[in-house]
Amino acid sequence: MNPRPVIDVRDIIRVYKMGEVEVHALRGVTLQVYEGEFVSIMGPSGSGKSTLMNILGVLDRPSSGEYYLDGIDVSRLGDARLAAIRNKKIGFVFQNFNLLPRVPALRQVELPLIYSGSGGRAKKAKAALEAVGLGDRLWHTPAELSGGQQQRVAIARALVNDPAIILADEPTGNLDSRSGTEILRIFQQLNREKGITIVFVTHDPYIARHTNRVIMLSDGLIVADEPVPNPLVAGEVAERVDESSLLELVIGRRVE
């Protein structure tokens, strides 16, 4: 049985108007991400990766093209329907954690369940926190948690609604190397052991080497889409290697 596409983007164009100037952020992007994949999206500043992330997260609409999220065409849905799909189908993890400052971990993780009207919220939130190793930190506020622990709360919050995908934007960007490795290990476990579909948006080829596939953007176009040969296992490589050669290794060829 062939895997099904959770993300199916077809000829997406996104044009922004800035006064009299049109900015072509995406110029016809077509890609599929299949159930159970662990994918990274890379590109330099201005490549369109942030715009693509916003469209994949249904935080923005394309100017033209189609986007099927878990089989639903979300390209032209109204705001209320989009909000409901975003809450149920997508788990977000951001660089800055986006936690409420005086709210304990358990209540942070319950929030998506409150928005979706789900029952059994405390039990589900507790299970999600236990899945990321925070079963003993249920009532700790962000000020009582390390940066890595705060990001684990954010991952638990992303998991709690059993989304179709987890979309992570530079999830290790504000962490030291040890905490970043712990977060990478959690994502790899979620993908390999639970089959959760994960998309990373990152500028860092070292982070991308821990995923199974790299999509490279440049000037609003996909310029490479390659499997990662021998993905790194978080914690098993002590030092980074030269990033220019590493990027070439990731995608199998040099991208100018």
Mean pLDDT across 121-147: 95
Tell me the pTM: 0.90
Three-state DSSP class for residue 110: helix
Mean pLDDT across 128-138: 95
Q: Determine the pLDDT at residue 203.
A: 86
Mean pLDDT across 56-79: 92
Confidence of residue 240 (pLDDT cuts 50, 70, 90): low
Closest CA to 8 of 41, 26, 31, 36: 31
Q: Determine the pLDDT at residue 252.
A: 56
Closest CA to 3 of 28, 33, 27, 44: 33
pLDDT of 242 over the 90 cut: no
CA quadruple 81, 87, 90, 95: dihedral positive or negative?
Answer: positive
Three-state DSSP class for residue 29: strand
Q: Which domains does the chain have, with CATH numbers?
A: 36-61+78-251 (3.40.50.300)
pLDDT of 247 over the 80 cut: no
Using alpha carbons only, how large is the chain's radius of gyration in Å?
Answer: 18
Confidence of residue 251 (pLDDT cuts 50, 70, 90): low
Confidence of residue 117 (pLDDT cuts 50, 70, 90): confident
Mean pLDDT across 165-193: 93
